[in-house]
Structure 1
Amino acid sequence: MENMKTIKIYKSFKELLGLFSIVAIALGFNSCEQFDLEENPAGSQSQVVTYSSMPQLELGVTGIYGKLNKAAWMSTFYVNGWSGDDITTHVASNKADFREYDQRFVTPENSRTLTNWNGVYEMIRAANTVLQSVEGQTLPDPDPTKQERLVGETYFLRAIMFNHLMRIHGRIPLVLEVDPFQQPSLASQVEVFQQIESDLLEAESRLPVSTNVGSTRPSKGTARAFLARLYMDWAGFPLKDASKYAQAASSAKTVIDNAASHGFGLEPDLAKLWSLAGRFTQEGVFTIAYSNSAGNLTNRKMGKLGLPSDPGLNGWQETFAEIRFFEDMPDGARKDATYYAELPVGDDGAINLNSPTRILRWEEFKDQQNPILRKIVGDLADGDWAQFQTLRSDLYMRYAEVLLIYAEASGEAGTAGADAWEALNMVHRRAEGLPTNTPAPSDLTVGDGSIQDLAFTERKWEFAGEFIRWNDLVRKEKVQEALGNRNPRVSIGTEYDENGVGSPKPLTTAQNPILGSLGTDNYYAPIPQQEIEKNPNLGN
């Protein structure tokens, strides 16, 4: 495979100078250790300066994490998530770019697409700079494993960003070297998959068995878990290489068998994951951490962005739950951890936990009637529901996904045994508020259907509102099925009066109707027009 190289990056000398400033980032170790970074001349992305000391390498890698935070701190990073049937956005306001994804009518001029593209490639270029700057060098340090670990982290970070962008656009340029003048073409999708696989294998070979609680730095288990996710996508649309199901199952099983060594496990209280207390938890296979003391890199996707603009709530009306999805979800602990169907409020309409005067249901919202995603708003007791920023972490991948990958992939590969069913049921039990490791009468069995279908459905409910549902619909070619009869104006289900007499629930006013094709021709977002104008090869 011919290596694709770097995009033409710099539009002006001013832009070039801006790359010399590396953002400070809080990386969560067990003590949530902070790093305040100085400028790093050797970290310039316009040229490669060979590293001669370990601090240069450390600073370069920490700078990549800083760029990850810059790319991920706002909802733009997950813009593709609005395409799923689990979340929606406001019907008006300034949410037009999100609505394009919500309605599957994404234009090449979408500014969120462009911002995400630039943020991801800035991080990829920083990773390339590190890899070339350390190539062929053995840097002196008392810890003989440090250089390998840092290089492994660099390969991992580049891999997950290629993966992130590939899931949005399908074909992307593979930028593998620091070269601001070459203009690459789009790689084929198989080349992209192969490059991500190669980077993850390079990472796995160098990373330690475990890192810290929450895995804000990757371990061997982290890399292997992302390989399992990659193979699941590889087995589905568009490549449909069914042989990858066996590799996905094997990779996930390797992680599960070594979960204790990696520090992975299910968090018993699912709701904790969306609270400040759950910033660093064993469920985090890879966690993006935030800080308000190192460059003010807070998480700006949550809190009031999940509330309507009703008086008292003063929400930023960005991320809401889809009504049909909400009402279809089985009741239980998982649904309670995912949504707020009602809010305790005071006379002023603001959330009030101590002395509420009434309960406000989502159907009563004045601005837009949609259920509230608890995963976005957070634990009300934390108080960050009133803020547009929070210190809550992004669980970019969590252990529940590893378990469900194993169950689904084993079923598709025809190798599902008792351990695969147990992996599925561990997640299912927690959804019902039961101990994860204790068999229960409600456990799923072969009598309930095929394990791959059950695991796919379990994923639907487990990851609702986490911006990854669209990826599942694409790989299984279920977009038409999920969105074809979508009518957000209909509130399905029944409500009962005091005499127990039922009637259909009232209609709501929420509406972001599908405008674009639901066929495979519209599964991927177009390359940003501004990037094509700078590099016409991206239009081919």
Structure 2
Amino acid sequence: MKTNSLKKVLKSTATSLFFLMAIIGITTQSCANLDPDPTEFNLPPESFGSLEEMESGIGGVYSQVTLAARMTTFYAPAWGGDDMTTHRALNKADFREFDQRAVLSSNNRLLRNWNAIFDAVNAINGVLERSAGLVGLEAVDQGLLQQYIGEAYFLRGILFYQLARVHGRIPLPLTKFPDPNISRAQLDEVYLQIESDLLAAEERLPAIYPGVKAGAPRPNSGSARALLARLYMDWGGFPMKDASKYALAASSAKQVMDNAASHGFGLVDDLEDLWTLDGRFSKESLYTIAYCKGCPNNSVANRKFSRLGLPADLGGWNETFAEIKFFEDFPAGPRKEATYRLDLDWTTFNAQKSPVFKKITGPPGDLNPGDFLTERNDFIMRYAEILLIYAEASGLSGNVTPDAWEALNKIRRRAAGLPFATPDAGVDLTSGAIEDLAFEESKWEFAGEYKRWYDLMRREKVAEVLSVRDNVSGSVAEHNPIIGSLETSNYLAPIPADAVARNPNLAN
């Protein structure tokens, strides 16, 4: 197999294409040739020979996305927020760079994430190119073909999106063999491409994907629209600052809310259920990356939970801790109890005195505390986020409705341990700057879910929030003090030095 030319820029796509071709080869070799599909002989060699090959190709792409997301590397920038921290020493230097706002282009997590994402993108581009020969063939179920194509667009859209949130301007390879000297696209081009991919996905995906578990482990049209709502929120804030996109964010979120039942979406009654193994497939997830240990077709375990959130005192990996001030400020109640391991006295730890996220370790007894490979899934986006996007975007766009207040109040009621659909005068809000109230609610709702940094960035709140990060009331100070700039010029991470060395065009 000829090595993809982007290898000199983005590491290597050879692994991706080999993986994809291996899957396809296994599929075709396992089929009897006594009655071959005649359409195969009418297709050029660069096209899939059948819909089954296309399906295998999509399966290979999902495996690569899962591999890219399985480790905390995928979420490393999240340590820049005020909710999460890491160990003050040991081998956590890459995370500390984000935690302390001093990210270097040599950061290994940046490079590994860059390589893994572009490997998956190149595999997706190969699938899209090879699917073209099946379009319009009478022997091929065109509806199913378009569904697979929609999945490819969805996955490429979220991968570009993930990388753009980290670096801002990124290259946009859209072919299997892109220009080896590819340059970074302008910001507006990046956002337009992500939007285009998600719109193409929404157009082709069904309202609910047939034959899958709850939580959209294979995306549906509502999953794509939900990601569009989040994209428009980011588009309205830093670095694009196109305030006209807030109205699109609100309308997109409302569309998901109005059609939640048809997509299988909704809130769960008990927030803590989401962090259990039994809750790994949940209607609250709008798109789920699923993991499995020992499964014959997808044996990829998750390496972000259980042991990684515990201190060495408890046999842990000392990687993902909660920040002290954030923990102290967190309002008491059922949501705090679902977020943190309040059964552990973190002030007595010797390894590092930091609170522990229940969202990372799971509730006591649910995960083996010695495991760093688990079957916990990743909820890329939750229904709670759509409700809070709708409330915040309504305020930012100047079109606040009773439905926007109700969306906010549903989250507040559940946080208080109340039925979320039942109004409660003691909890509900009906006045004030809803955009700020919803932003504050998101702070608590998504603590420890790798989201807070991006919210601080888009609303340009980094300096305001992180400048008081060390103001804790107790005797224990934050372990990783800020040493870098808190200005907008330091929000986005540099392009990995290794990628620039391979292609100097990426430096511009």
Aligned partner of 2:208 among 202, 206, 210? 210
The 3-state SS of whatever aligns with 1:287 is strand
Distance 2:46 2:67 in 1: 24
More deviation, 139-148/92-101: 139-148
| 8 Å Cα contact 2:306-2:371 kept in structure 1 | yes
The 3-state SS of whatever aligns with 1:340 is coil
The 1:445–1:134 alpha-carbon spacing in structure 2 relative to 1, beyond 3 Å, is same
Distance 2:397 2:457 in 1: 19
Tell me the equivalent position of 1:357.
none
Tell me the equivalent position of 2:199.
201
Distance 2:16 2:205 in 1: 31
1:530 aligns with 2:503: no
TM-score scaled by length of structure 1: 0.86
Tell me the equivalent position of 1:398.
382
Aligned-residue offset at 1:169: 0.5
Aligned-residue offset at 1:445: 2.4
| 8 Å Cα contact 2:51-2:140 kept in structure 1 | no
Question: Runs of 5+ in structure 2 lacking a partner?
Answer: 30-43
Distance 2:103 2:130 in 1: 38
Tell me the equivalent position of 1:123.
120
| 8 Å Cα contact 2:322-2:355 kept in structure 1 | yes
Residue deviations 1:300-333, cap 9 Å, x none? 00001001111xx110000000000011111111
Distance 2:16 2:397 in 1: 49
Tell me the equivalent position of 2:237.
236
Aligned residue runs from structure 1 range 161-172, under 5 A: 161-172=159-170
| 8 Å Cα contact 1:169-1:525 kept in structure 2 | yes
Distance 1:147 1:63 in 2: 16
Aligned-residue offset at 1:96: 0.4
The 3-state SS of whatever aligns with 1:416 is coil
Aligned-residue offset at 1:39: 4.8
Counterpart residue identity of residue 374, structure 2 = T
The 3-state SS of whatever aligns with 2:486 is coil
The 1:362–1:133 alpha-carbon spacing in structure 2 relative to 1, beyond 3 Å, is same
Tell me the equivalent position of 2:454.
471
The 3-state SS of whatever aligns with 1:278 is coil
Counterpart residue identity of residue 362, structure 1 = W
1:296 aligns with 2:296: no
Distance 2:252 2:264 in 1: 17
Distance 1:149 1:515 in 2: 48
| 8 Å Cα contact 1:369-1:510 kept in structure 2 | no
| 8 Å Cα contact 1:149-1:206 kept in structure 2 | yes
Counterpart residue identity of residue 143, structure 2 = T
Tell me the equivalent position of 2:174.
176
Distance 1:40 1:105 in 2: 47
The 1:48–1:99 alpha-carbon spacing in structure 2 relative to 1, beyond 3 Å, is farther
Aligned partner of 2:309 among 299, 306, 310? 306
Distance 2:259 2:12 in 1: 49
Tell me the equivalent position of 1:457.
440
The 1:12–1:375 alpha-carbon spacing in structure 2 relative to 1, beyond 3 Å, is closer
Distance 2:117 2:10 in 1: 20
Aligned-residue offset at 1:511: 1.3
The 3-state SS of whatever aligns with 2:18 is coil
Counterpart residue identity of residue 300, structure 2 = L
Aligned partner of 2:427 among 414, 434, 443? 443
| 8 Å Cα contact 1:304-1:377 kept in structure 2 | yes
Counterpart residue identity of residue 422, structure 1 = E
Tell me the equivalent position of 2:418.
434
The 1:17–1:130 alpha-carbon spacing in structure 2 relative to 1, beyond 3 Å, is closer
Aligned residue runs from structure 1 range 310-329, under 5 A: 310=313, 313-329=314-330
Distance 1:521 1:303 in 2: 35
The 1:10–1:41 alpha-carbon spacing in structure 2 relative to 1, beyond 3 Å, is farther
Aligned-residue offset at 1:144: 4.2
| 8 Å Cα contact 1:204-1:223 kept in structure 2 | yes
Aligned-residue offset at 1:341: 2.8
Aligned partner of 2:46 among 45, 49, 58? 49
Aligned-residue offset at 1:16: 3.1
The 1:199–1:99 alpha-carbon spacing in structure 2 relative to 1, beyond 3 Å, is same
Residue deviations 1:401-432, cap 9 Å, x none? 01111111111111111111111111111111
Aligned partner of 1:372 among 356, 360, 365? 356
Q: CA RMSD in A?
A: 2.3
Aligned-residue offset at 1:509: 5.6
Aligned partner of 2:158 among 151, 157, 160? 160
Aligned-residue offset at 1:486: 2.0
Aligned partner of 1:424 among 408, 426, 449? 408
1:387 aligns with 2:387: no
Aligned-residue offset at 1:10: 5.5
| 8 Å Cα contact 1:284-1:398 kept in structure 2 | yes
Residue deviations 1:339-396, cap 9 Å, x none? 01333xxxxxxxxxxxxxxxxx111101101100011001222133221111011011
Tell me the equivalent position of 2:145.
147
Counterpart residue identity of residue 156, structure 2 = R
Counterpart residue identity of residue 57, structure 1 = M
Counterpart residue identity of residue 524, structure 1 = L
Distance 2:61 2:176 in 1: 15
Distance 2:497 2:101 in 1: 17
Distance 1:189 1:79 in 2: 22
Could you list the runs of 4 or more consecutive aligned residues of structure 1 that deviate by over 4 angstroms after TM superposition?
Answer: 10-15, 36-42, 139-144
Counterpart residue identity of residue 461, structure 2 = K
Tell me the equivalent position of 1:270.
271
| 8 Å Cα contact 1:68-1:123 kept in structure 2 | yes
Aligned partner of 2:395 among 400, 403, 411? 411
Aligned-residue offset at 1:491: 3.7
1:335 aligns with 2:333: no
Aligned-residue offset at 1:11: 8.9
Counterpart residue identity of residue 215, structure 1 = A
Identity %: 51
The 3-state SS of whatever aligns with 1:286 is strand
Aligned residue runs from structure 1 range 216-255, under 5 A: 216-255=217-256
| 8 Å Cα contact 1:48-1:178 kept in structure 2 | no
Distance 1:245 1:70 in 2: 33
- How many residue pairs were aligned? 485
| 8 Å Cα contact 1:283-1:399 kept in structure 2 | yes
Tell me the equivalent position of 2:35.
none
Residue deviations 1:217-255, cap 9 Å, x none? 111100000110000000001111111011000000000
Distance 2:13 2:189 in 1: 31
| 8 Å Cα contact 1:368-1:510 kept in structure 2 | no
The 3-state SS of whatever aligns with 1:395 is strand
Distance 1:219 1:518 in 2: 38
Aligned-residue offset at 1:7: 6.7
Aligned residue runs from structure 1 range 19-98, under 5 A: 19-22=17-20, 39=26, 49-98=46-95
Tell me the equivalent position of 1:352.
none
The 1:48–1:204 alpha-carbon spacing in structure 2 relative to 1, beyond 3 Å, is farther
Distance 1:323 1:37 in 2: 50
Distance 1:418 1:237 in 2: 28
Tell me the equivalent position of 1:27.
none
Aligned-residue offset at 1:143: 4.6
Distance 1:12 1:379 in 2: 39
The 3-state SS of whatever aligns with 1:386 is coil
The 3-state SS of whatever aligns with 2:380 is strand
